[in-house]
């Protein structure tokens, strides 16, 4: 059984350095040395006693990814491709940093704070929290936390997100540029600050710039599930002076609308144009393929882990950090000029 001493000798560093690397005190060690030590640890099969280490170093080397449990729309957590792609990349990055990932679905702020404290995780990344939950979590739990896609306004929290508002604006502009004047909006309710509210705001801004307005009867609320969206298509078509195009706040909604429109005898894009959001695989599975706003989900995951590792290295003196990733329009097949009326 190799010892700490063996690892130190083989890597040509002090035992203290090996200990610093293994116990997460990595800000004192160069990246090259970290890599060398980890290589030796793996090659020799050195097994630090993690539980003992956790007690002594007050570090568990576990970070948690907290995601929402079954939501209002009845969608099973993590089966949303956005979330599973995000998890996948977080896991890869966390493993590469020599840490462990705990996956934890979140019912409530209280039970989450309880779990995180109980397991002494070093820090946590939160997916899908509401803006108002962030403050409650900060009160209940004192450790590095990074939120994702949270549009709360507190300057004290770390957040990684994307340009949701710009995305909505680009969608609106593209449909206007194609000649549409009656454009609908389909997405979940957005009473709270969040990505849907931002995407809606950007979309309305594009209409306003063009001297248009979003008519209340052209707003159809629909949870982010395929079947919800198939059903929502009928409500779009039943609206007075029905729209000739819609902006859907998620690709899964766009895909469901597409099926609903075609079933109702309204071909896409000849009679109805659609723009989605996220650039998930589903946008390319369907025919016609869906024009959408691309966001870099693995990039967002990498940024979240980076921010968390920076926080860990400087905790408790860490400063909060906000990162915003860009979005871009991906042209596919679901946008055409409005039908001649």
Helix, coil or strand: residue 192: coil
Measured from the CB atom, the residue of 138 and 181 that comes closer to its own copies is: 138
Q: Which residues contact 142 (CB under 8 A, 6 or more apart)?
A: none
Determine, following the binding rule CB under 8 A, whether residue 35 of this chain makes contact with its own copies: no
Instruction: Say which residues have a Cβ less than 8 Å from residue 43's Cβ, sequence separation at least 6.
Output: 10
Question: How many residues belong to the chain?
Answer: 341
Interacting stretch for its own copies, rule CB under 8 A, among 74-82, 171-179, 311-319, 333-341? 74-82
Applying CB under 8 A, does 262 fall inside the site for its own copies?
Answer: yes
Q: Map residue 273 onto helix, strand or coil.
A: strand
Distance CA 220, CA 78 (A): 25
Binds its own copies by CB under 8 A, chosen from 4, 23, 25, 54: 54
Binding string to its own copies for residues 95 to 114, with x set by CB under 8 A, is what?
x----xxxxxx----xx--x
Q: In whole angstroms, what is the distance from residue 333 CA to residue 338 CA? A: 14
Show Cβ contacts of residue 265 under 8 Å, excluding neighbours closer than 6 positions.
none
Query: Restricting to residues 5-34, which ones interact with its own copies according to CB under 8 A?
Result: none
Residue 216 DSSP class: G
Q: In this structure, what are the phi and psi dihedrals at residue 331, rounded to the nearest 5 degrees? A: -75, 130
3-class SS of residue 160: strand
Binding mask 210-229 for its own copies (x = CB under 8 A): ----------------x---
CB closer to its own copies out of 202 and 225: 225
| Interface residue with its own copies, options 4, 50, 204, 212 (CB under 8 A) | 50
Residues 293-322 that bind its own copies (CB under 8 A): 298
**Site for its own copies, rule CB under 8 A:** 42, 45, 47-52, 54-55, 60, 62, 65, 69, 76-79, 81, 83-85, 87-89, 91-92, 95, 100-105, 110-111, 114-115, 117-120, 226, 255, 259, 262, 281-282, 284-287, 298
């Amino acid at each position: 059984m190799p010892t700490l001493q063996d690892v130190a000798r083989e890597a040509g560093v002090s035992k203290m350095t090996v200990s610093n690397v293994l116990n997460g005190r990595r800000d004192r060690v160069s990246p090259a040395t970290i890599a060398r030590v980890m290589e030796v640890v793996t090659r020799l099969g050195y097994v630090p006693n993690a539980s003992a280490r956790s007690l002594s170093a007050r570090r568990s080397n576990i970070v948690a990814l907290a995601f929402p449990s079954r939501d209002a729309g009845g969608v099973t957590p993590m089966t949303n491709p956005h979330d599973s792609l995000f998890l996948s990349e977080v896991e890869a990055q966390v493993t590469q940093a020599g840490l462990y990932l705990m996956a934890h679905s979140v019912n409530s702020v209280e039970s989450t704070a309880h779990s995180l404290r109980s397991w002494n995780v070093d820090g946590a990344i939160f997916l899908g929290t509401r803006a108002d939950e962030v403050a409650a979590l900060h009160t209940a739990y004192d450790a590095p936390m990074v939120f994702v896609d949270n549009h709360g306004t507190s300057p004290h929290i770390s957040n990684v997100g994307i340009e949701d508002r710009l995305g909505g604006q680009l969608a609106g502009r593209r449909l206007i540029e194609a000649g549409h004047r009656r454009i609908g909006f389909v997405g979940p309710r957005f009473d709270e600050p969040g990505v849907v509210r931002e995407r809606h705001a950007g979309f309305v801004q594009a209409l306003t710039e063009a001297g248009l307005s979003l008519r209340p009867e052209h707003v159809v609320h629909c949870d982010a599930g395929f079947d919800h969206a198939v059903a929502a298509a009928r409500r779009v078509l039943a609206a007075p002076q029905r729209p000739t195009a819609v902006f859907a706040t998620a690709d899964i909604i766009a895909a469901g609308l597409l099926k609903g429109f075609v079933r109702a005898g309204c071909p896409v894009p000849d009679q109805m144009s659609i723009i989605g959001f996220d650039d998930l695989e589903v946008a390319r599975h369907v025919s016609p393929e869906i024009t959408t706003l691309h966001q870099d989900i693995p990039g967002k995951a990498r940024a979240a882990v980076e921010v968390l590792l920076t926080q860990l290295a400087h905790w408790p003196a860490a400063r909060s950090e906000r990162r915003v990733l860009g979005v871009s329009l991906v042209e596919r097949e679901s946008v055409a000029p409005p039908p001649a009326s």
